[in-house]
């Protein structure tokens, strides 16, 4: 087995002395051997094994994609196992090869935690995929007549459960990692907590804010839960459009819960404090679900584009496998981006002033409190935010430009109305989400953005998720019918 940042015996630690306590800046990976004469042999051997691993697994993936006869559950899981193996090996071997080539054994603190994070994900995925493949063989051999029924495409989403388990494990590790703090050095100090100033410091307004946000939160949770239950209960809604809508509703519940619950707790306890670990954890999950909202709206725009511009090929293009892969890709992008940003914050030290002029821990506000250089953080923030903002928005605009062009080509007025009504709800939600996001961006550029930025943030963190169920239920005949049947079923069961 290759040694990596998880192997404690293979690591010695370099420290920066600060009084009687220390802050870790890097680790030293001792590798497989300290014999200088063996390094070229090790480099050649591991480079050869790595190339064989990558090329071999890529060939398996390409063969399965290209051959329709291999589009079965067994080979679906095999292709995912091959992809996982490439990532698993790359996580450790590439750094080892780089260290041998540069004759350096050092790995940064952030780099070590990142390597450990991905190592745990792909090691766990390897383990779980092998278990799932064993179950697939069990069904194929012991229940051959029911194989296609049991191993249906919906089991594709079992991979989501695997991923969630790995994310949970990694989140536990992440929570432990962020407990490492920086001790006092001159004007800089170890941060134990931040102060969330909230929307208003007026004591008389606090009961009103508590009641208003509690009401909006309950409406958001109940409304989105009803959407999810209606889609699950009604087989007519088991289509790609409603599959993504149910995931959007789940994301909206998590998105709102990430910020509002802490705000309500602070108002109720009359405390504005949030621990350092709690603040970074809130920021981490906020970025995940904000990014998921963004990407899911983009995927839903593509779904509407295919439905209106290529109606005859809709079921072929938007098959269950593609829908599952689009959802998995969205999760992986958001998890990777959020982890990277959070690890970059760990390297910062903060001044004694820790007041955040907001009702939740936002990355941009945290960076303003840092005493150390935030140039790399700022570049990463603007680059990735621009990338994840501009590309999805461009995709949505292109989809709707093609949709409008196709609708204008329909001769009958009724046909135009019917075609546009299928994407009217989505267009309304997109306008709300990006309109609120634009408001936050514009207020962040002002000299005193605190209150205006907080109010604008309420629009896309609370108001938009709360309104989504109403938009989709009031403007959608199928959804209204499903909700009516769900309520009727609940009444009869009583």
Structure tokens at 284: 């981490």
pLDDT of residue 357: 83
**How would you classify residue 103: left for phi > 0, otherwise alpha for psi between -120 and 50, otherwise beta?**
left
Model confidence at 174: pLDDT above 70: no
Q: Enumerate residues 6+ apart whose C-beta is below 8 A from 225.
A: 249, 253
417 or 446, higher pLDDT = 417
Residue 339 gets which letter from DSSP?
H
Residue 412 gets which letter from DSSP?
S
Model confidence at 186: pLDDT above 50: no
Q: What is the bridge-based pairing of β-strands 355-356 and 193-196?
A: parallel
* CATH, domain range 193-493: 1.20.1070.10
Strand locations in 249-392 (E): 273-275, 355-356
Q: Enumerate residues 6+ apart whose C-beta is below 8 A from 431.
A: none
| Length of the chain as a residue count | 494
pLDDT of residue 251: 93
Same fold, 8-177 and 193-493: yes
- Work out the pLDDT band at 252, boundaries 50, 70, 90: very high
183 or 151, higher pLDDT = 151
- With both helix axes pointing from N to C terminus, report the angle between 158-177 and 109-142 in degrees, rounded to the nearest 10: 160
pLDDT, one tens digit per residue, over 441-488 is 666 555 454 555 677 778 778 888 888 888 877 667 777 777 777 777
Q: What is the largest CA-CA distance in the chain?
A: 80
- Contact (Cβ atoms closer than 8 angstroms) between residue 431 and residue 468: no
Cα dihedral: 343, 348, 352, 356 (round 10)? -50
494 or 139, higher pLDDT = 139
pTM: 0.65
Alpha-carbon span 443 to 96, nearest angstrom: 46
Residues facing residue 187 across a β-bridge: none
φ, ψ of residue 122 in degrees (nearest 5)? -75, -30
* CATH, domain range 8-177: 1.20.1070.10
Helix (H) / strand (E) containing 230: helix 206-233
428 or 49, higher pLDDT = 49
Domain boundaries, the chain: 8-177, 193-493
Model confidence at 156: pLDDT above 60: no
pLDDT of residue 426: 81
Mean pLDDT of the chain: 79
Could you tell me what percent of the chain has a pLDDT over 90? Answer: 10
Model confidence at 276: pLDDT above 50: yes
- Work out the pLDDT band at 216, boundaries 50, 70, 90: very high
Structure tokens at 446: 């002002």
Least confident of 114-118, 186-190, 242-246, 362-366: 186-190
Alpha-carbon span 257 to 220, nearest angstrom: 10
Number of H helices, E strands in the chain: 16, 6
**Sheet architecture: strand order including 11-18:** 11-18, 21-29, 106-108
Residues facing residue 16 across a β-bridge: 23
């Amino acid at each position: 087995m290759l040694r990596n940042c998880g192997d404690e015996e293979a690591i010695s630690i370099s420290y920066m002395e600060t009084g009687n306590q220390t802050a870790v800046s890097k680790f030293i990976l001792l590798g497989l051997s300290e014999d200088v004469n063996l390094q070229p042999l090790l480099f050649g051997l591991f480079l050869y094994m790595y190339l064989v691993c990558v090329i071999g697994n890529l060939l398996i993936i390409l063969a399965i994609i290209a051959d329709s006869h291999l589009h079965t559950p067994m080979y679906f899981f095999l292709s995912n196992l091959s992809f996982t193996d490439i990532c698993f090996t790359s996580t450790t071997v590439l750094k080892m090869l780089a260290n041998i080539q540069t004759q350096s054994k050092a790995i940064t603190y952030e780099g070590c935690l990142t390597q450990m994070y991905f190592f745990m994900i792909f090691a766990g995925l390897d383990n779980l995929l092998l278990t799932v493949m064993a179950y697939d063989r069990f069904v194929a051999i012991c229940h051959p007549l029911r194989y296609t029924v049991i191993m249906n495409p919906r089991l594709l989403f079992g991979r989501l459960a695997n991923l969630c388990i790995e994310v949970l494990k990694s989140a536990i590790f992440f929570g432990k990692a962020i407990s490492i703090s920086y001790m006092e050095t001159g004007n800089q100090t170890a941060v134990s907590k931040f102060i969330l100033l909230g929307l208003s410091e007026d004591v008389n307004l606090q009961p009103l804010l508590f009641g208003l946000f509690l009401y909006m939160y309950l409406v958001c949770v109940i409304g989105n839960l009803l959407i999810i239950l209606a889609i699950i209960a009604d087989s007519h809604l088991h289509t790609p459009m409603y599959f993504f809508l149910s995931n959007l509703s789940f994301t909206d519940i998590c998105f709102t819960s990430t910020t509002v619950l802490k705000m309500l707790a602070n108002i109720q306890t009359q405390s504005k404090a949030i621990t350092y670990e709690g603040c970074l954890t809130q920021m981490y999950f906020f970025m995940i679900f904000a990014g998921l909202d963004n990407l899911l709206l983009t995927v839903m725009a593509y779904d509407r584009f295919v439905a209106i511009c290529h109606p005859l090929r809709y079921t072929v293009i938007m098959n269950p496998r593609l829908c599952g892969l689009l959802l998995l890709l969205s999760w992986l992008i958001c998890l990777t981006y959020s982890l990277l940003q959070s690890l970059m914050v760990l390297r910062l030290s903060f001044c004694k002033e820790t007041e955040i002029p907001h009702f939740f821990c936002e990355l941009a506000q945290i960076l303003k409190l840092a005493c150390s250089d935030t140039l790399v953080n700022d570049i990463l923030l603007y680059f990735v935010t621009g990338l994840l903002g501009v590309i999805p928005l461009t995709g949505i605009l292109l989809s709707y430009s093609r949709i409008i062009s196709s609708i204008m080509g329909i001769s009958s007025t009724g046909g135009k109305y019917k075609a546009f009504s299928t994407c009217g709800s989505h267009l309304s939600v997109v306008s709300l989400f990006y309109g609120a996001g634009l408001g936050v961006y514009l207020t962040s550029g002002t000299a005193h953005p605190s209150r205006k930025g907080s109010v604008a943030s309420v629009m896309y963190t609370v108001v938009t998720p709360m309104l989504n169920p109403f938009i989709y239920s009031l403007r959608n005949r199928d959804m209204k019918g499903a909700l009516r049947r769900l309520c009727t079923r609940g009444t009869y069961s009583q």
